[in-house]
A and B are shown apart, each in its own frame.
Chain A
């Protein structure tokens, strides 16, 4: 028997976190007398900030190490997972990895009665309204918390790692047992609060697990790209460029249609067109060419291509004009400027409702903190 765990994480931001979770599953399993091994998905390297990636851990109580490796090692992706861990809940909208896989459902690999384990503060129905429908039932469990984003060198030690280990023990004790998780954390770190964090997450997840039935979720709207067979390559391995095209207006710039990368974002920029002073900086400084010049010296944004880096919000000189908002608040990538043009007041009310009053604030070194602040006060009349 083989138990398979996949950890879905944000490239670079959660690389260390995912690697530690995967590695520790193997060590804890081996302390329990089982055999395990862990690796990253081949095509995810070299990782880029934010792009969805996967780490795997495999555990078996009866196979030899060589047999387990022969069964699970060196594969592009796994076919099924007993537990799919998701350490950033915005990935439930779909994941388009670095290799050419298309936008895939987050629950694609979860087996019948398996578990989708998400670090999230959202209610379960707020997550399943984005996941793909499956022909069978599986379980959904949440670990209460924000996505723990850090950097390549400075790791954010906020106990997410320990809590995920405790939660895995809760959703599938055949992988690792909670007593073994606690014993390992104590032996390794001599710090009781780490073992306690794992135990608390274990208890909480036992209460926070629900069953997702075939009626829940959506019909998956994204197609999987068809990879050309070797004999279909053109001479010199030519890749066709996007056709040259530009006109003013939404989508007026031709873009790479076969790789969009919008699932990289955890936050998206919401624009108050009525506050815009047409300074051009969002358009000029966007590293992903997402802003479309439109009439009236405004700039529309193409959310399908926006990766949510937050640079536009950072360079915008007008307070509250561009604000980064939680990606799970949005169902559509439609042009916000067309919405604004057809109904200016309605759009402004909608934008303010989405923005709310909480503002995400990251320090310069990502791993050193994260705050949710109340918005700085801006006169109410300016906020529509």
Chain B
């Protein structure tokens, strides 16, 4: 087995070692209990003041910078829905050119582009793919609230099987309208871009500091990097905002959203749902109004899919190949 690559980076070990200063501050238009706002807060805190962020259209654009006010202290620029990858490449290339020409001082300036699950996982996927083939230093964060949440919750390629959205309302004839299983974006990008050195999944609040350190690691390793975050959404998932952290924790502990890093092609689990007892997905599902219409049969199906991810996949929770390599039969 390949050795895990050592990344020289300053790991934050306790909450007291995190910077006290905010780079994304109070006064935004996100929902009560917004977990995507936690992603914004912690990536900017981890990256620090010498950072430029670009944001694709989506909740974290519209909720933060509409109507001539902003909570961003670091420079931030809006970019189009599918342009997360290209805006990161453009910004990073511009910085390199300005430094080469001596127009700005040589220094490390972090470039971070964030996009939602529609902007990153569906529409902007080709742009992210192109960005991950470059040699520019950039980090793309896909904040995934499993819907087009800004426009009042439409289904995307990342919406969990069975969930209610405005595109997938349960009816008397068809109980389940969201038939698609969640798109497996982070491994897709890792498999397809062998020179991309760092791909990870994370949750902003669980385990504590995990996301914070993953951002620091991604920025330290250099080149194009990618992090996919799991963001419970009180609006679209229909739970009371005070439970945001708990829903996220249950998502990780039930194994429905695997947490791992892929560093130079080696997978390491941040929460190993094979070794640690997985909680039943039922506990996660029944606490959300978007699953209020599903019945035991559906919960059993979702549980069987999650079990298959962890028990049958060649790389559990990551790559959906089963049964190893077989010689060609014909």
Binding site for B on A (CB under 8 A): 12, 45-51, 98-100, 151-154, 227-228, 239-242, 244, 246, 248, 253-261, 264-265, 280-281, 284-285, 287-290, 293, 302, 305, 307-311, 313-315, 324, 362-368
A248 to B73: give the CA distance in the assembly, Å. Answer: 18
- Which B residues from 25 to 74 make CB contacts under 8 A with A? 25-35, 37-38, 41, 49, 59, 62-63, 65-74
Instruction: Report chain A residues within 8 Å CB of B72.
Output: 241
B240 interface neighbour in A46, A305, A310, Cβ under 8 Å: A310
Given A287-B38, A305-B27; A364-B67 close (CB under 8 Å) = no
Nearest first, the 9 A-B pairs at minimum CB distance are A256-B27, A310-B242, A151-B238, A100-B67, A309-B32, A49-B31, A364-B287, A246-B21, A305-B26
Residue contact B235 to A285, C-beta cutoff 8 Å: no
Say yes or no: is B295 at the interface (Cβ < 8 Å to chain A).
no
Using Cβ atoms and an 8 Å threshold, which residues of chain B touch A285?
38, 205, 245
CB atoms of A254 and B150 under 8 A apart: no
Question: Out of B20, B31, B65, B70, which one reaches A50, CB within 8 Å?
Answer: B31
Which label, helix, strand, loop or mixed, suits the secondary structure of the B interface?
A: loop
C-alpha spacing A50/B242, complex, angstroms: 12
Q: How far, in whole Å, are A49 and B153 apart by their CA atoms in the complex?
A: 13
Q: Is the CB of A293 within 8 A of B20?
A: yes
Select one of A153, A260, A307 contacting B289, CB under 8 A: A153
Q: Within residues 211 to 253 of chain B, which ones have a CB less than 8 A from any CB in chain A?
A: 234-236, 238-247
| Partner of A49 from B25, B33, B62 at Cβ < 8 Å | B33
In the bound complex, residues from chain B placing their C-beta under 8 Å from that of A264 are 32
Residue of B nearest to A151 (CB): B238
* Residues of B participating in the A interface, judged by any CB pair closer than 8 Å: 15-16, 18, 20-22, 24-35, 37-38, 41, 49, 59, 62-63, 65-76, 150-153, 164, 205, 208, 234-236, 238-247, 286-290, 292
> Which residue of B26, B33, B235 contacts A311 across the interface (Cβ within 8 Å)?
B33
Q: How far is the CB of B66 from chain A (nearest CB, A)?
A: 8
Collect the chain A residues with CB atoms within 8 Å of residue B245's CB.
285, 311, 314-315
Smallest Cβ-Cβ distance to A49: which chain B residue: B31
Chief secondary structure at chain A's binding surface: loop
A-B contact pairs, 26 of them (CB 8 A): A46-B59, A49-B235, A99-B66, A100-B67, A153-B292, A241-B72, A246-B20, A254-B25, A256-B28, A256-B69, A256-B70, A257-B27, A259-B28, A280-B16, A284-B205, A287-B34, A287-B244, A289-B26, A289-B71, A309-B241, A310-B240, A311-B242, A313-B242, A324-B242, A364-B247, A366-B240
- Determine which of B16, B22, B71 lies in contact with A246 in the assembled complex, contact meaning CB atoms within 8 Å: B22
Min C-beta distance of B65 to chain A, whole Å? 6
Residues of A within 8 A of B286 (CB): 364
A259–B69 touching, CB < 8 Å:
yes
Whether B288 and A253, one on each chain, are in contact in the complex, defined by CB atoms closer than 8 angstroms, is no
Do the beta carbons of B28 and A12 come within 8 Å of each other?
no
The answer on a CB contact under 8 Å between A311 and B241 is: yes
The complex places the Cα of A307 from the Cα of B292 at a distance, in Å, of: 27
User: Which residues on B sit within 8 Å (CB–CB) of A257?
Assistant: 27
Closest-CB distance, B28 to chain A (whole angstroms):
7
State the Cβ distance, B47 to closest chain A Cβ, in Å: 14
Residues on the B chain within 8 Å of A227, using CB: 68
- In the docked arrangement, what's the CA distance between A363 and B240, Å? 7
| Chain A residues closer than 8 Å to B34, beta-carbon distance | 48, 287
Most buried by A among B26, B63, B72, B287: B26
Interface pair A151/B246, CB less than 8 Å apart: no
Q: A284-B208, A314-B243, A366-B238 are in contact. Are A153 and B28 (CB under 8 A)?
A: no
- Which residues on B sit within 8 Å (CB–CB) of A309? 32-33, 234, 241-242, 244
Residue among A254, A257, A281, A311 with the highest chain B CB neighbour number at 10 A: A311
Contact (Cβ within 8 A) B73 A241: yes
Partner of A255, one of B21, B25, B65: B25
**A12:B31 contact, CB within 8 angstroms:** yes
| Contact, CB under 8 Å: A46 / B25 | no
A95 to chain B, nearest CB (A): 14
In the bound complex, CA of A153 to CA of B25 (Å): 31
With contacts A153-B290, A309-B244, A311-B244 known, is A46 near B152, CB below 8 A? yes
Beyond A154-B289, A311-B244, A366-B238, whether A48 also contacts B31 by CB under 8 A is: yes
**Set of chain A residues within 8 Å of B70, measured between Cβ atoms:** 239-242, 256
For B39, the closest partner residue in chain A by CB is A287
B41, B205, B236, B239: the one within 8 Å of A364 (CB): B239
Query: Smallest CB–CB gap between B295 and chain A, Å?
Result: 16
Chain B contacts of A99 at CB under 8 A? 66-67
Whether the pair B21, A253 counts as a contact (CB closer than 8 A) is yes
With A153-B290, A259-B69, A293-B20 in contact, is A46–B28 under 8 Å at CB? no
Are B32 and A307 in contact (CB-based, < 8 A)? yes
The answer to whether B26 and A228 touch across the interface, beta carbons within 8 angstroms, is no
One of B32, B71, B153 near A308 (C-beta < 8 A): B32
Q: Are B27 and A314 in contact (CB under 8 A)?
A: no
Q: Which residues of A contact B151 (CB under 8 A)?
A: 46
Residues of B close to A258: CB separation below 8 A: 27, 68-69
Do A289 and B238 have beta carbons less than 8 Å apart? no
Determine whether the beta carbon of A47 is less than 8 Å from that of B152.
yes
- Contact check, B68 vs A239: say whether CB atoms are below 8 A apart: yes
Could you say which residues of chain B place their CB within 8 Å of the CB of A293?
20
User: Which residue of the partner chain B has the closest CB to A149?
Assistant: B240
Beyond known contacts A48-B32, A244-B73: 8 more, CB 8 A cutoff: A152-B153, A152-B289, A256-B26, A257-B27, A259-B27, A259-B29, A260-B26, A288-B30
Give the residues in chain A near B32, CB-CB below 8 Å: 48-50, 264-265, 307-310
Q: Which residues of A contact B74 (CB under 8 A)?
A: 241
Residues in chain A near residue B29, CB distance under 8 A: 48, 51, 98, 259, 261
| Cα of A46 to Cα of B233 in the assembled complex, Å | 14
Residue of A whose beta carbon sits closest to that of B32: A309
